[in-house]
């Protein structure tokens, strides 16, 4: 019988239609149904779109903004990842004022840029984002330096061909609503980020210990968990970043490699973002694992984003 054919069985003079069995690969080939308002899946080998849903509709992106924050830092000429940045009280005040996700950086601690990247991308630390923007922007005041850094983010977006993207924030907390992107644009950014070995190493990490020198010369140990629960849950997942906001809803930028294929995807405003991502990856890889995926659990007290 041909694939897709319907057999008819006659029993007691009554005809019954018998549907053929569908293999997992066939099921994965069906366009997935997603909770996301916007989504995109990119085939890294060809750069071609594998899947798109409202791919060019502008939406808020919440903390997926931090992918660009990391990219601007990592693309800085002559970057010294071991450069130490002193944590200011203003970074902690900013987090408290906005009820933001945090790496719980302590005032006076001296911490390396490399460590700040982990604090930025794993617990989604808005304090780490502030520290990096302050350290890598230009100007004589914090305000000037952070504005300068956001300008660099927008310049990078232009250079990457992200034509429907604008940043007004170094971490995704937008007061004007002018911090937006599209699923297609964010996939371009993710692909660019993954070209950096340092970026790849950070975003694939589920748990990280980092150390800082305190203001009194002691050593402080930070423990950070990755808010991206797709890691450790979906085989081959390699990152990248979560984001959640009132206007943005739950968001996710992700990438995975399996059997020599790599796909990068984006979920914007998806109430079931991790399963949406798994469905898209199954669609790309021709697998069927989303329905049985068990999400990695975050310990009590870990940041959620």
Q: Which residues are tagged catalytic?
A: 63, 66, 124
* Cα 77 to Cα 27: distance, rounded to the nearest angstrom: 47
Three-point CA angle 211, 213, 118, nearest 5°: 35
Chain-centroid distance of CA 12 in Å reads: 58
Measured over the CA atoms of residue 80, residue 172, residue 100 and residue 34, the dihedral's sign is negative
Burial classification of residue 60, based on how many CB atoms lie within 10 Å of its CB (0-12 exposed, 13-18 middle, 19 or more buried)? buried
Rounded to a whole number of angstroms, the distance between the first and last alpha carbons of the chain is 50
* Cα 66 to Cα 281: distance, rounded to the nearest angstrom: 23
Burial classification of residue 272, based on how many CB atoms lie within 10 Å of its CB (0-12 exposed, 13-18 middle, 19 or more buried)? middle
Backbone φ and ψ of 236, nearest 5°: 95, -5
Backbone φ and ψ of 196, nearest 5°: -90, 125
- The closest of 275, 235, 241 to 257, measured between CA atoms, is 235
* Cα 186 to Cα 282: distance, rounded to the nearest angstrom: 20
């Amino acid at each position: 019988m041909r694939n897709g054919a319907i057999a008819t069985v006659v029993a007691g003079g009554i005809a019954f239609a018998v549907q053929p069995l569908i293999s997992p690969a066939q099921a994965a080939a069906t366009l997935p149904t997603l909770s996301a308002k916007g989504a995109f899946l990119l085939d890294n080998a060809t750069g071609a779109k594998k899947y798109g849903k409202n791919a060019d509709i502008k939406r808020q992106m919440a903390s997926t903004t931090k992918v660009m924050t990391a990219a601007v830092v990592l693309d800085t000429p002559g970057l010294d990842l071991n450069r130490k940045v002193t944590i200011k009280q203003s970074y902690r005040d900013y987090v408290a004022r906005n009820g933001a996700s945090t790496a719980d950086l302590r005032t006076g601690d001296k911490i390396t840029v490399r460590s700040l990247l982990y604090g930025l991308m794993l617990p989604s630390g808005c304090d780490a984002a502030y520290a990096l923007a302050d350290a890598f922007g230009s100007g004589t005041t914090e305000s000037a330096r952070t504005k300068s850094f956001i300008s660099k983010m927008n310049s990078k977006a232009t250079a990457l061909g992200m034509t429907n993207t604008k940043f007004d924030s170094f971490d995704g907390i937008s007061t004007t609503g002018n911090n937006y992107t599209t699923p297609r644009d964010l996939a371009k950014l993710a692909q660019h980020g993954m070209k950096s070995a340092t970026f790849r190493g950070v975003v694939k990490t589920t748990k990280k210990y980092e150390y800082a020198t305190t203001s009194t010369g002691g050593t402080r140990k930070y423990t950070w968990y990755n808010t991206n629960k797709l890691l450790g849950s979906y085989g081959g997942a390699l990152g990248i970043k979560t984001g959640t906001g009132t206007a943005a809803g739950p968001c996710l930028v992700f990438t995975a490699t399996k059997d020599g294929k790599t796909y990068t995807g984006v979920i914007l405003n998806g109430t079931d973002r991790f399963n949406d991502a798994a469905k898209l990856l199954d669609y790309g890889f021709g697998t069927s694992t989303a329905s049985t995926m068990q999400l990695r659990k975050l310990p009590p007290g870990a940041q959620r984003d």
